[in-house]
Amino acid sequence: MENDIIAPNGKKRKFIFVIGGVMSGVGKGIASASIGRILEGRGFKVTAIKIDPYLNVDAGTMNPVEHGEVFVTEDGDETDQDVGNYERFLDVNIYRDNYMTTGRVYSAVISRERNLEYGGKCVEAVPHIPYEIIGRIQKATEKANADITIIEIGGTVGEYQNVLYLEAARMMHLENPDDVAFVLVSYLPVPSKLGEMKTKPTQAAARELNSVGIQPDFILGRSTHPMDEPRKQKLALFCSVDKDNVISAPDIDSVYDVPINFEKENLSEKILKKLKLEPRGQDMQEWRNFTEKVSNCEQVIKIGIIGKYFESGDFILPDAYISVIESLKFASWHNNRKPVIEWINSDLYEKEPDKVSELSAYDCLVVPGGFGSRGIEGKISAIKYARENKIPYLGLCYGMQLASIEFARNVLGLTDAHTTEINPDTTNPIIHIIPEQAKKIAEKNYGNSMRLGAYPCILREGTRAYELYGQKEISERHRHRYEFNNDYRQRVEEKGLIIAGASPDNELVEIVELSKDLHPFFIGVQFHPEFKSRPLRPHPLFFGLIKAGIEK
């Protein structure tokens, strides 16, 4: 049964593997998500799986500068940022079963071997690892009850570490050739000295794929420029791909245009044909309306994100905050504004405190999540500036905790107020560790052990948070070990920092906000609303922030 990809109810499942060629970072995630979107437009239920071929069990233990954002799912998995792209493009929730790493696959096989589940067989990398991979793909597909599952294999073809995933894909195709399609997302450089688009690296990538027994059905040619006919012909001929299935995917301003561009090349039609599926409709209208709205926004809103995970060597990368950035974009567009987002390194305000006054140039400010001491005094100075100068402010997780610290220090006069994450000996631990988290840290149990995933929160009537959400009970995703110390609740409230939301048992503070007479918009949330923002449904907190920024 291990290779059977027909659902128990007899419904045929279809699978699309998306594989990278030439180099990483060419937008395989966006391509996978966009393929999903256009197939949804044809009336199919789609889910997506991300495979990360590293040994980490999840993305939670990796530095965001190296790996990008850790995207948290409803069920508390710490995954790759591409899972966020899937959720945003497909407008579905993705769960733990849809995320796979080599660490996860091997640990499962090894623990099964320890339990004698292989019945005395010699357990080998091949075929047992590919079987495990196939089993996981099937399980995620069944759970989502998807007609089509898109599986993005991280990294690029030719790397040692993704070979067993390609082997699993090959085996699935061998068993059910009509139900499995392969998409090679490759890169076509246009060297400035030559001024011509070169196809050779992509030809080499296709050949590399052939060498592991896989023939791509489609080639998506990522490049700075659109791909012309001669180049399509070349790739078709040398990579044995139907010319119509060589798709041009040039750089564009907004990633949300990618599905529309794919449809200009009738990609959904071609994929359905390959998978022997009849289209069930064509409905991309809402998405089209959205992308039109995006391109019609002219008036600018200037947003500052104060963080620290931006620098990679000599390069500045916003990837660590991708969901925050996308959430700000959705909220701006739905307010008919074109977002101009700038990343501000909080270290700067520690080295040069006077510089903080440059924040007056922004319409609104965000301090996103974070860990550790580097740059936090700079963030606290920025929050103080936002509070005193009435700049709309949204603090996310650490941004809420630091806003509470700032208020305690500068309004309550508790000058040593701090989080015990940074200063365990402070006499005013306004942020302290959640008791069960202290135990985990003492046991060095760091993996997937924070307070993670969706939890309910009850909003207090009359608060700004309540007005924005328009309902009393909400659910948001979390990722933290520390919390607001309840001993300080009364004191901060007396001075105008309202506890606007808390857990149903009222034990854990989830939202703080400055009362309306003190500030036009100042909210800190212990959770991460950025994980639930969707292009067509901007998150109320981000929407409110941008609206307040416009009114300012």
Catalytic residues: 397, 528, 530
DSSP 537: B
Which residues lie closer than 8 Å to 318 by C-beta, 6 or more apart? 310, 325, 343
The residue among 76 and 369 lying less far from ligand GLN, judged by its C-beta, is 369
Q: Which two tokens stand for residue 328?
A: 């700000």
Q: Which two tokens stand for residue 542?
A: 């981000």
**Three-point CA angle 12, 17, 19, nearest 5°:** 175
- Residue range at the interface with ligand GLN (CB under 6 A); choices 160-168, 201-209, 221-229, 363-371: 363-371
* Residue 398 lies near ligand GLN (rule: CB under 6 A): yes
Quote the least distance from Cβ 332 to ligand GLN, whole Å.
23
Quote the least distance from Cβ 352 to ligand GLN, whole Å.
25
* Residue 540 lies near ligand GLN (rule: CB under 6 A): no
* Residue 60 lies near ligand GLN (rule: CB under 6 A): no
List, in sequence order, every residue forming a beta bridge with 541; answer none if it has no partner.
none
Q: What is the DSSP string of 414-467?
A: -TT-EETTT-TT-S-EEEEE-HHHHHHHHTT--TT-SEEEEEEEEEPTTSHHHH
Quote the least distance from Cβ 152 to ligand GLN, whole Å.
25
The residue among 349 and 398 lying less far from ligand GLN, judged by its C-beta, is 398
* Residue 307 lies near ligand GLN (rule: CB under 6 A): no
The residue among 72 and 301 lying less far from ligand GLN, judged by its C-beta, is 72
* Count of positions on this chain that bind ligand GLN (CB under 6 A): 11
- Residue range at the interface with ligand GLN (CB under 6 A); choices 167-175, 205-213, 297-305, 476-484: 476-484
Quote the least distance from Cβ 79 to ligand GLN, whole Å.
15
The residue among 275 and 400 lying less far from ligand GLN, judged by its C-beta, is 400
Burial of 434: CB neighbours in 10 Å, binned 0-12, 13-18, 19+: middle
Q: What is the DSSP string of 127-196?
A: HHHHHHHHHHHHHHHHHHT-SEEEEEEEEETT-GGGHHHHHHHHHHHHH-TTTEEEEEEEE----TTTTS
3-state secondary structure of 493: helix
* Residue 221 lies near ligand GLN (rule: CB under 6 A): no
- Residue range at the interface with ligand GLN (CB under 6 A); choices 84-92, 333-341, 475-483, 500-508: 475-483
Phi and psi angles of residue 379, each rounded to the nearest 5 degrees, phi first: -65, -40
Chain centre to alpha carbon of residue 170: 28
CA distance 315 to 311: 6
Quote the least distance from Cβ 207 to ligand GLN, whole Å.
44
Q: Site for ligand GLN (CB under 6 A): which residue of 86, 165, 362, 482? A: 482
Q: Site for ligand GLN (CB under 6 A): which residue of 96, 222, 480, 547? A: 480
Quote the least distance from Cβ 376 to ligand GLN, whole Å.
9
Mark residues 323-362: x for contact with ligand GLN by CB under 6 A, - for none. ----------------------------------------
Quote the least distance from Cβ 418 to ligand GLN, whole Å.
12
Please name which of 549, 468, 542 lies closest in space to residue 501, comparing C-alpha atoms: 468
Quote the least distance from Cβ 153 to ligand GLN, whole Å.
29
* Residue 309 lies near ligand GLN (rule: CB under 6 A): no
Q: Site for ligand GLN (CB under 6 A): which residue of 45, 481, 495, 516? A: 481
Q: What is the DSSP string of 361-411?
A: G-SEEEE----SSTTHHHHHHHHHHHHHTT--EEEETHHHHHHHHHHHHHT
The residue among 361 and 438 lying less far from ligand GLN, judged by its C-beta, is 438
- Residue range at the interface with ligand GLN (CB under 6 A); choices 5-13, 223-231, 308-316, 397-405: 397-405
The residue among 137 and 452 lying less far from ligand GLN, judged by its C-beta, is 452
Q: What is the DSSP string of 255-294?
A: GGGHHHHHHHTTHHHHHHHHTT--------HHHHHHHHHH
Q: Site for ligand GLN (CB under 6 A): which residue of 82, 208, 326, 421? A: 421
- Give the CB-nearest residue to ligand GLN: 369
Quote the least distance from Cβ 176 to ligand GLN, whole Å.
42
CA distance 50 to 79: 9
Q: Which two tokens stand for residue 298?
A: 């002219």
Compute CA distances 98 → 37, 101, 105, 163, whole Å.
Answer: 17, 10, 12, 19
The residue among 211 and 373 lying less far from ligand GLN, judged by its C-beta, is 373
Quote the least distance from Cβ 538 to ligand GLN, whole Å.
21
Compute CA distances 520 → 210, 314, 327, 391, whole Å.
Answer: 60, 38, 20, 8
Please name which of 357, 477, 480 lies closest in space to residue 84, comparing C-alpha atoms: 477
Mark residues 364-393: x for contact with ligand GLN by CB under 6 A, - for none. -----xxx----------------------
List, in sequence order, every residue forming a beta bridge with 329; answer none if it has no partner.
none
* Pair 398, 405: CB distance under 8 Å: no
The residue among 274 and 528 lying less far from ligand GLN, judged by its C-beta, is 528
CA distance 552 to 98: 42
- Residue ranges binding ligand GLN (CB under 6 A): 369-371, 397-398, 401, 421, 479-482
